[in-house]
Amino acid sequence: MRMYIYHLEFPEGVHFGRHGIGLEESNEVLPSDSLTSAVINAFAVLGLADEVIGKLREDPPGFVLSSLFPFGSVPDGGAEGSRRAYALPKPMSDPVLSEDGAEFMAEQGKDIKKLRYLEPADVVRWLSGEPLTEAELSAMRERGSGLAQTAGDGQYGWFLRELRPRVALDRASANSSIWMCGLVRFVKGAGLYGLALLKDDTDLQALEAAFRLLGDMGLGGERTYGPGEFRFGGFKPLEEVWPEVTAVKEVTGFELLSRFYPGDNEVSLLSSCLLAWDIEENRGFVSSGRQATTVKRKRLYFIKEGAVASVPLRGSMVDVTPDAAAAIGIPHRVYRCGLGFWFPMGNLQKV
């Protein structure tokens, strides 16, 4: 299986909703289950949904997608003054520390714990199993604090958060009420990236076609007004973009870069394989192709991105079809993707 990276640019921003009251909040990332469902819907428009779901249920799956994470520019001492940086979730496990590293964490560890993201090379170093020194931790804190910041927080912010007014009309009285919708707008040169793991490169062309169609269909909410449409830059082999990260000579662990739901035969392995993890509730509405419904799918709980494991587990495609699906006009089964995208971490070779 080969790993690829791709970049998405959103000219009109995105609305990736959060659970709660109203639509004022929007995430700047998109979880893998939502992304995979959107890709399957694009394949449905192309008439290939059943074939793709069959590939996802194979062992190993035909392809696995990570969640979408931010990328953008950060200051750099080179001639151009800035460089492209990628944000990866900070691992949930604690690193091995040297003596001065332990003293640093005792005094200033709160700043490290507040970080949501680290650069890819720092994530690999975090999970390498070799003690982190005070100097390394301080540098990680400096680099991590500049990732995925709002543009109002500094020169190199990656996105802006906006509230846009919307109006709702009462069907009976035609009385109007104003409500606000949250959007995330990326600055020039910033956007979201994802990783894709393919079992067979012959599927790459079909997956590219689905992403290009999805760019017109859009991701997330508020697509009627333009948000969610994106420009797709194509798939690139990961070793060409992250050569320093893919040169792992000895794997010491795996970080989860997708949402994960264990298969029936994997539940008993979780306690021995997972080193650090957290869970998140998932719920929402059924959509099929270009058609959205007001029918709620079954809720479930995923293991979140940033979990760390000693062994990569496959995960599963979870059937979340409502009990009364046929009676309310849904002619097919509804699935949510819980396949694990586990990125290998360890000691790096010099490249």
Cβ proximity of 308 and 256 under 8 Å: yes
Residue 47 domain-assigned?
yes
Q: Where are the beta strands (DSSP E) in 81-214?
A: 82-86, 88-89, 117-118, 159-169, 176-186, 191-198
In which domain, by residue range, is 48 found?
Answer: 2-87+148-343
User: How far is Cα 46 from Cα 101, in angstroms, rounded to an integer?
Assistant: 54
Does residue 349 lie within any of the structural domains?
A: no
The answer to the question of residue 227 being in a domain is yes
Name residues whose C-beta falls within 8 Å of residue 264's C-beta, 6 or more positions apart in sequence: 316
**132 falls within a domain:** no
Interaxial angle between packed helices 204-217 and 32-45, expressed in degrees from 0 to 180 and rounded to the nearest 10: 100
CA distance 39 to 33: 10
Give me the number of domains the chain comprises: 1
Query: Is there a contact between 130 and 162 (Cβ–Cβ < 8 Å)?
Result: no
- State the number of CA atoms in the 13 A half-sphere of 137 facing the CB: 25
225 located within any domain: yes
Burial class of 19 by CB neighbour count within 10 A (0 to 12, 13 to 18, 19+): exposed
In a domain, 128, yes or no: no
Residue 70 confidence (pLDDT): 96
Does residue 153 belong to any structural domain of this protein? yes
| Sequential DSSP letters for 99-116 | HHHHHHHHHHHHHHHH--
In a domain, 125, yes or no: no
Residue segments in the chain with a per-residue pLDDT below the cut of 70 = 18-26, 77-80, 153-155, 247, 249, 288-294, 327-329, 347-351
The enclosing H or E element of 348 equals strand 342-348
